């Protein structure tokens, strides 16, 4: 029994310790001032890439949203790269261009659908901007986002920036309310990472890269066009940071299966991303962001395995010492229940993803999630996005 207690204790430390360390240290770091140069007059030439595949229901909303962004038109181009849509997405974009010739819009067509990163790399060859920004078709920007965000790229050591996601349908179900609470906590951590050097997490709604900071999207083929590209940015000794002012709006699935589908895909990608980080760190090809990367490598690659051992050994101990159940009284505290659920969900998803990656499963082709149906013109008008 002593050996079981030792296994339980060690596995508990290995599974929960990294998350606790990251939460404490990065929440504290998030309150520090920015250690970078911010120039509010910085106005680089930018290229905005919007990858699409069967987005006919929302592509006009997206283009209208981008046309409302405050930025010198001679310094901004928008590139739609469509991956063989069969619902008329490209035709709707073409009609928008005819009606708005001042929009500086390009439309590129891929004849074969090969995945989001492939589409972005195809579009990258046509970008004229010094800054390349990726935004998904279902993500919408406040009109001042570029004025707020570009000053952070004035620092020569900052190679990429991203922004926090705000949910448009946050009050629809408890699933979305939990996701919103998770995003708030995660954004504090990413801000702390950014002020400590670099974050390793980016969002597809707003990811901006200096052209000189990377050569291609997702060069190591992790399946993640955002976080997978940050790997290359850090490898080239640039910083990647979360800018709170660069917030964007999107929706989230209302059903549990819809949520798990998104989370599973993301977990699979992140396992691949951090496996690549592990390789690059051990080969000493990444140095500047090690203090952020190493705890996250442990958290995403090793903690889920330790957590499973901890989870099983907890039930074995409860079978021998039922009075340990008294400790569950702490679950009356709502925040404890919330974080316990997140820990359980995250570790099970990551553990499943680790096995998927070992077996070679990969999400290279993106599909339309259920939350597309929730986007309406009325919702976007209410948030002043169209």
CATH number at 193 reads 3.90.550.10
| Segment 347-356, tens digit of pLDDT | 999 999 999 9
Radius of gyration of the chain (CA): 22
Mean pLDDT of 178-204: 93
The pair of three-digit structure tokens given for residue 70, joined into one six-digit string:
């405050």
- Closest to 269 (Cα-Cα) out of 308, 229, 228, 231: 228
**DSSP labels, 5-46:** HHHHHHHHHHHHHHHHHHHHHHHHHTTSPP-S---TT----E
Helix, strand, or coil here: 160? strand
The pair of three-digit structure tokens given for residue 337, joined into one six-digit string:
């229940």
pLDDT higher for 299 or 334?
A: 299
* 185 contact partners, CB below 8 Å, separation of at least 6: 23
Does any domain span residue 322?
no
Judged against a pLDDT cut of 80, whether residue 172 lies above it is answered with no
Mean pLDDT of 89-99: 95
Does any domain span residue 346?
no
User: DSSP alpha helices (H): ranges in the chain?
Assistant: 2-29, 59-67, 89-99, 116-124, 145-149, 174-196, 227-235, 256-282, 290-297, 303-320, 334-358, 377-382
Model confidence at 328, pLDDT cuts 50, 70, 90, reads: low
* 71 contact partners, CB below 8 Å, separation of at least 6: 43, 46, 146, 147
CA distance to 279, 293, 310, 348, 366, per residue, from 235 (Å): 12, 12, 34, 30, 26
What pLDDT, on the 0 to 100 scale, is given for residue 138? 94
What pLDDT, on the 0 to 100 scale, is given for residue 113? 85
pTM of the model: 0.92
Mean pLDDT of 175-201: 92
Does any domain span residue 362?
no
What pLDDT, on the 0 to 100 scale, is given for residue 97? 95
* 384 contact partners, CB below 8 Å, separation of at least 6: 142, 143
Does any domain span residue 1?
no
Judged against a pLDDT cut of 90, whether residue 335 lies above it is answered with no
| Segment 277-316, tens digit of pLDDT | 999 999 999 988 888 999 999 999 999 999 999 989 988 8
Does any domain span residue 157?
yes
Which of 11-15, 77-81, 146-150 is predicted with the least confidence, judged by mean pLDDT? 11-15
Does any domain span residue 244?
yes
pLDDT higher for 169 or 69?
A: 69
Q: How many domains does the chain have?
A: 1
Q: How far apart are CA 323 and CA 311, in angstroms?
A: 17
Judged against a pLDDT cut of 60, whether residue 17 lies above it is answered with yes
Model confidence at 370, pLDDT cuts 50, 70, 90, reads: low
Contact 240/286 with Cβ under 8 angstroms? no
Which of 63-72, 209-218, 290-299 is predicted with the least confidence, judged by mean pLDDT? 290-299
What pLDDT, on the 0 to 100 scale, is given for residue 16? 85
Does any domain span residue 112?
yes
Mean pLDDT of the chain: 91
Q: How far apart are CA 167 and CA 172, in angstroms?
A: 10
Which of 38-47, 266-275, 314-323, 344-353 is predicted with the least confidence, judged by mean pLDDT? 314-323
CA 247 vs. chain centroid, Å, equals 12
| Segment 217-240, tens digit of pLDDT | 999 999 999 999 999 999 999 999
Contact 250/205 with Cβ under 8 angstroms? yes
Contacts of 381-385 with C-beta under 8 Å, sequence gap 24+, read 383/140, 383/168, 383/249, 384/142, 384/143, 385/65, 385/68, 385/140, 385/141, 385/142, 385/249
Which of 44-58, 115-129, 245-259 is predicted with the least confidence, judged by mean pLDDT? 245-259
Does any domain span residue 132?
yes
- Closest to 33 (Cα-Cα) out of 209, 231, 247, 196: 196
Domain that holds residue 132: 27-288+374-382
Q: Residue for token digits 């819009």?
A: 105
Judged against a pLDDT cut of 80, whether residue 368 lies above it is answered with no
- Closest to 264 (Cα-Cα) out of 194, 350, 188, 333: 350
């Amino acid at each position: 029994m002593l050996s079981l207690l030792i296994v339980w204790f060690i596995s508990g430390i290995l599974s929960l310790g990294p998350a606790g360390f990251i939460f404490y240290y990065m929440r504290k770091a998030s309150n520090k001032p920015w250690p970078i140069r911010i120039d509010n007059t910085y106005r680089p030439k930018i290229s905005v890439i919007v990858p699409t595949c069967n987005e006919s229901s929302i592509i006009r909303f997206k283009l209208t949203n981008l046309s409302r962004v405050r930025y010198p038109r001679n310094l901004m181009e928008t590139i739609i790269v469509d991956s063989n849509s069969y619902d008329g997405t490209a035709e709707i974009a073409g009609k928008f261009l005819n009606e708005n010739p001042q929009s500086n819009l390009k439309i590129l067509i891929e004849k074969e659908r090969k995945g989001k990163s492939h589409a972005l790399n195809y579009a990258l060859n046509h970008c004229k901007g010094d800054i390349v920004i990726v935004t998904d078709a279902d993500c919408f920007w406040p009109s001042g986002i570029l004025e707020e965000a570009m000053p952070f790229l004035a620092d020569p050591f900052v190679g990429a920036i991203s922004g926090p996601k705000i949910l448009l349908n946050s009050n629809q179900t408890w699933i979305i309310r939990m996701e919103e609470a998770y995003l708030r906590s995660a954004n504090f951590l990413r801000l702390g990472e950014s002020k400590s050097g670099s974050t390793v997490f980016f969002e597809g709604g707003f990811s901006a890269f200096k052209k000189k900071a990377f050569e291609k999207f997702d060069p190591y083929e992790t399946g993640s066009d955002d976080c997978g590209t940050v790997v290359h940015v850090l490898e080239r000794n640039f910083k990647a940071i979360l800018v709170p002012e660069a917030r964007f709006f999107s929706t989230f699935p209302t059903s549990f299966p819809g949520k798990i589908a998104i989370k599973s895909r993301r977990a699979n990608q992140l396992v691949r991303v951090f496996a690549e980080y592990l390789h690059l760190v051990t080969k000493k090809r990444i140095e500047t962001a090690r203090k952020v990367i190493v705890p996250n490598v442990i958290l995403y690659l090793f903690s889920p395995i330790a957590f499973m051992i901890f989870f099983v050994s907890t039930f074995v101990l409860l079978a021998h010492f039922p009075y340990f159940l008294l400790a569950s009284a702490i679950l009356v505290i709502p925040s404890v229940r919330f974080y316990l659920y997140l820990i359980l969900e995250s570790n099970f998803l990551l553990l499943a993803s680790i096995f998927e990656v070992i077996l070679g499963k990969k999400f290279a082709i993106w599909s339309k999630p259920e939350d597309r149906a929730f986007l309406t013109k009325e919702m976007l008008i209410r948030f002043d996005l169209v």
